[in-house]
Amino acid sequence: MSDTGAPPIADLSYRNYDGPKSVRGPRWWPIARNGIRLTLRKKAVFWALFAFSWLPYVMIVFQLFISSVTENVRGPERFIDLPKYPEMLSNAYGSWFFVFFIVLLAGAGSIAADNRSNAQQIYLSKAITKRDYLIGKWMSIFLVMFAVVFIPMFSVTCYAAFNLGLGDFMRQYGTLFPKIFVIAAIPATVHACVMLGISAWNKAPTIAGLIYVGIFLAWNLFAQIVAALLHDSLSREMRRTVDYFSIQGSISGLGQNVIGAMPRQFFDRHLPPQLPAWQPLLALAIVACVLGLAAARARIRAVDVVKS
């Protein structure tokens, strides 16, 4: 009997494919679509968080209603001094609690779940590249977060336009409508990049989520402590910028600069509003995005077939 040895392992993947690669849509879209479906499949949790994320905008509707009721009241009879609409919108935009939990829901398992099940080998054995895989995973988080922020903000702005009078609203705040697209993209972009980088280096979505919670809260707290310690040695603008020098702070500060207003201050009402400087916050957001994407890309790799 002759010893023929073990049969060779055939490479059945697309790794050596050199044919046409034209497809109906972008190659990353099926990955993004699958990620979005997985997020929306968590119906009870996702829709509950999405509903709670509307609460700051419901408060705007209530304030607008009060404003319309008391608009003809003058003097001491007008017992409440309501902020202008951009200030209301800026305040609601900075309400991050429920939005952040949706980030964890949509992004913690984006790559961590694939690491646990070795699904990357299956994805990357098809006619897609690491870039396609990374873009698809990133878009699955970005699109969900963009919709979560954009839909309530756009809806309440439309209500405000009709409540205050469409003509008057467009003359005073007409630029808010295109700005909403920008300010909705800011948290979606930053969270998608950072969450993706953390998820790529873990095999358990829960661990990835807890790591991001720890970084997010600790960084916010550290920035506030530093701003408080340097309160007397910094200018008002610089002190506010240091206070905002965190992941959530950069998102809120950039959004406030785009809107052109910030929430009304209760303790410094005698002082004019002071927006944080946007340049260091933009630099921080860009660095966080680049580091997150670089970390994710460094971790994405397929197991190559060993050839004799």
Residues in contact with 139: Cβ distance below 8 Å, sequence separation at least 6, in sequence order: 28, 29, 32, 35
Distance of alpha carbon 19 from alpha carbon 10, whole angstroms: 19
- Give dist(CA 204, CA 210) in Å, integer: 10
What's the full length of the chain, in residues? 308
pLDDT digits (tens, 9 = 90+) for 25-65: 688 898 999 999 999 988 789 999 999 999 999 999 988 88
- Whole-model pTM: value is 0.84
Question: Residue 15, SS3?
Answer: coil
pLDDT single digits (tens) 126-176: 667 888 899 999 999 999 999 999 999 999 999 989 888 888 888 888 899
| Spatial distance between the Cα atoms of 276 and 245, rounded to a whole number of angstroms | 9
User: What distance in Å separates the CA atoms of residue 138 and residue 145, rounded to the nearest whole number?
Assistant: 11
